Amino acid sequence: MSGPVKQAPLPGMQRAGTPARTLPAWLGELQLVRNALLCFALTLLASVVLLSLSAAYRAREAQQLDMARRTRTAASILFNHAEAEKQEIRAYEPQFLALRQRGLIGEENRLAWIDAIRRSQEQRKLLPISYDISPQQGLQVPLPMVMGQYHLRGSRMRLQMDLLHEMDLLNLLDDLRQAGYFAVQECTLKRQATAGAGTGNAIATGAMAPALGAECELLWLTLGSMAVPELGQP
């Protein structure tokens, strides 16, 4: 005689007499703090974003501050340079104006040279004087000399004159120095018995027997802002 058949429990069904599993107590309390946890997460995210923005703003401000310091340094250098130039202008302006008034700076004034010859001949009663002026040309200067925007120029003048004595030539050169700056390149004296007529543009006085004849080459000097062909060049 067979006994009762035991039927297997269906899936998902718990056997009778098996105790039920209990969840942890904190899971039950998680519902209570859900809002607080959400608020904390949002606050943490906002804090991270704000820290990132603050770091970027600080880096940008540091860069702008460094740029401002460099700009201030450059402006200070330019200001000091300008002040130094002003001091140099105040120191050298009188000499510059004096040189310009004497004819060294600026365009050459050949009429002043010719007028100086005429006045010296009339006032000192000199014998006939003739002159010839070559075209103006540029002059080379030593390399260490800083000329800036100015160029040294020279115009050659050849003088021929009769002399009663050597002082006539020296007096004429002294008078010419009032009309500008020049350098005596060459001067030749020769003894003669009669007065020479002279060539070119002559300024004559009364006929007197000259004791000497002089031939001189002067180089009139000027400083100009425009360059001209140098001596020896076409």
What is the per-residue pLDDT across 88-123, written as a single tens digit (0 to 9) for each?
A: 888 888 888 887 888 888 888 899 999 999 999 999
Distance spanning both ends of the chain, measured CA to CA: 149
Residue-level pLDDT at 174: 93
Band of residue 155 on the pLDDT scale cut at 50, 70, 90 = very high
User: For residues 180 and 103, what is the distance between their CA atoms, to the nearest angstrom?
Assistant: 5
Q: Which two tokens stand for residue 123?
A: 């006032």
Band of residue 209 on the pLDDT scale cut at 50, 70, 90 = confident
In terms of Cα–Cα distance, which of 54, 175, 78, 70 is closest to 126? Answer: 175
User: For residues 108 and 136, what is the distance between their CA atoms, to the nearest angstrom?
Assistant: 9
- Average pLDDT over the chain, rounded to whole? 80
Residue-level pLDDT at 198: 43
* Strand extents, DSSP E, the chain: 129-133, 137-138, 151-163, 181-191, 201-203, 212-224
Least confident span in 31-45, 166-180, 220-234: 220-234
In terms of Cα–Cα distance, which of 225, 232, 230 is closest to 107? Answer: 225
Query: When comparing pLDDT for 232 and 104, which is higher?
Result: 104
User: For residues 29 and 35, what is the distance between their CA atoms, to the nearest angstrom?
Assistant: 12
Q: Which two tokens stand for residue 99?
A: 């040189």
User: For residues 181 and 184, what is the distance between their CA atoms, to the nearest angstrom?
Assistant: 10
Least confident span in 53-67, 118-132, 217-231: 217-231
Query: When comparing pLDDT for 188 and 89, which is higher?
Result: 188
